[in-house]
Amino acid sequence: MRTWSEMSQIQPKVTKMLTNSIQKDRVSHAYLFQGARGTGKREMSSLLTQSFFCSNRDGVEPCQRCKDCHRIQSGNHPDVHEIVAEGQSIKKEQILHLQKEFTYTGLESNQKVYIVQDADKMTANAANRLLKFLEEPNRQTMAILLTENGQSILDTIRSRCQILSFQPLNAKNLENRLMEEGINEATARLLASLTNNLDEAVELSRDEWFAKARKIVIQLIEILQSKPDEALLFIHNEWMPHFQDREAHSKGLDLLMIWFKDLVYEHVENEAAIIFIQEKERIQKSSYQWSKQFATDALTHILEAKRNLHSNVHPTLVMEQLTLQIQR
């Protein structure tokens, strides 16, 4: 479980606002945490809930040892209620059940917290029932709504919440967090350059598809350098069967772009910026064959390929054209 000190490294502005509220005993009755998946909303909601209940706090930091802290961490606290979508939506009946639960006296205190995951998935009826709940705030009750799409939340609900926007994780912070998850430095650095979403990065790290994608990109580079006449054959036999939809092709192009950026960094002697750190020897060797201008032109062609891909040009045509452009 993370501490406020650790969260301040991930979401400094949100952490500062929440810890100030805790210190001044001015915790809001309702929060809306909005931001992309993997930016720490769930961790922050759990930490805030611990600070709300923990009677052994050290300043703002919950003790992490008491009964309340342990039960919140395990999801078993009797006065903490979590609502998640049933199927594709959060239904009115779920909010009604929550309201009924809150009419009862707390099992161990009068404090209660409810956390609504994916609050944007509430049906219209559910959202209106929640609004009625928010209109009658109780000082000892706290609501935390989590969403990736804050603008889809009813304005009337938004107006009754303190809105905290979670920023995308910067690459270095994400790289460090991935390494904390047990991912090696080389993979963590590559993933952090592809996405600022922690959950997506972790999923990719465990995906055999991604490991093979990285290998195919390196193989394409080798063929373009040593056997350029076979590059189109490689695209048809290896690239196309693996990158089977536009999203997959886009990720492949992103990997290819990172490689050529690394080649530029090698030419300008900015070794610290290189992402494919396991391929430094290959990148150095490539710099003898391909100039900085060649790498820059390749990046321009890859960006054009991504635009064509998103404009619904057939992926095979996109990759054929890109391969020919890089070969010239």
- Provide the pLDDT for residue 282: 93
Number of Cβ within 10 Å of residue 212's Cβ equals 12
Predicted confidence (pLDDT) at residue 10 exceeds the cutoff of 90: no
Average of pLDDT values for 7-31?
93
- Provide the pLDDT for residue 139: 67
- Over residues 24-55, the pLDDT tens digits come to 989 999 999 999 888 899 999 999 999 999 98
Domain 4-165 - what CATH class? alpha beta
Number of Cβ within 10 Å of residue 88's Cβ equals 8
Choose which CATH entry (3.30.70, 1.10.8, 2.60.120, 1.20.272) describes domain 207-327: 1.20.272
Q: 221: pLDDT confidence band, cut at 50, 70 and 90?
A: very high
Q: 108: pLDDT confidence band, cut at 50, 70 and 90?
A: low
- What's the predicted TM-score (pTM) here? 0.70
Q: 105: pLDDT confidence band, cut at 50, 70 and 90?
A: low
Q: 141: pLDDT confidence band, cut at 50, 70 and 90?
A: confident
What are the structural domain ranges in the chain? 4-165, 207-327
Q: 107: pLDDT confidence band, cut at 50, 70 and 90?
A: low
Average pLDDT, the chain: 91
- Over residues 229-241, the pLDDT tens digits come to 999 999 999 999 9
